[in-house]
Structure 1
Amino acid sequence: MSDEVVLRDFAKDYFPFQFPGFGRPGHCFLRVNLFDSNVSVLCAQLKDYHSTSVTNGLEGIIDSLVDTLLKERLTSGKAVVEVIEKFPFLRRLTRSDQEVSRSRYLSARRKLLERCRWFEYYPPGAGVADEGSLALVSVRNAGAPSWSYAMPEAFAADVPEGFFHIAEDLSKWHM
């Protein structure tokens, strides 16, 4: 018996976005766009950054994003991501608050990943390719992710106009 997950229209940039890194917190630029129950995420590596990369930190970034979106509210007060429990009374009788919370998190994560187009961006000078790179990352609930590299034009029909344009200076991320 799975919960119903409602995704409401929402767009926000998180800069810097903090995630659990290896040995210390990691940071990245994260753009999230939820529209018509579809999710587009642009995750960008920061310049002059010497901690966990967005590639190596992918799972931690996803987990932190799910936590963040479960807490986000629209101006109307409604949750951006709402998990509607099936049989909440019965569930609360048989499970601890921690188990219920974990179940809600897993339902939200599953739905977000089912509906998500995750893009990983390395600006020029921030990755292995001097000219920068953009990849569509296929992320499944279980299993290894895979990367498909292309120019932004190849993905333009799948995201809102201007989605790949980052106005912020990604070298000015220090907290």
Structure 2
Amino acid sequence: MRLRTDASKFAVGGVLFQVVDGVERPIAYISRKMKSAELNYPTQQQELLAIVHALAAFRIYCLDKPPIVETDHKSLEGLFTQKMANRRLARWYDILAEYQPTFSYLPGAKNGIADALSRRPDLQPETKFFHDLSVTSFDDTSFSLALSEVATDTELATNIKKAYKKDREI
């Protein structure tokens, strides 16, 4: 079995392949939106989350024979040689130990299915990112900012940058 996984900024995805006569055949797909806390994980941990989630989903296929986990995140190849940084990683290491996976680097261009599953438009978060916000008012006495949602506008961003250059130091 070969498992390919990927994590985007908002979701994780994976595809499980069975190799028959040298030909890879996809047999299962998985993807899900990250929870709010997971959005703050470092990239390596998000990639590891994708692997742990996919292994749990494909458990029945992966317990008999250790899967080859192919990922576009090279640092995961030496995963079991690293010191455990926190309890979450220790728990994930225990889960991974049950499956005895082998990690292999796969360039991102060859990881198209898992990449697409982790970027499904219907999994994009509802919340707006900071770059979608703009300052609409500034109260000089209390230094409070009122933010409102705006569409990304390059002209507006350029005008704001010019205005910041003219502002006095706060």
TM-score by length of 1: 0.28
Select the structure that is richer in helix.
2
Larger radius of gyration: 2
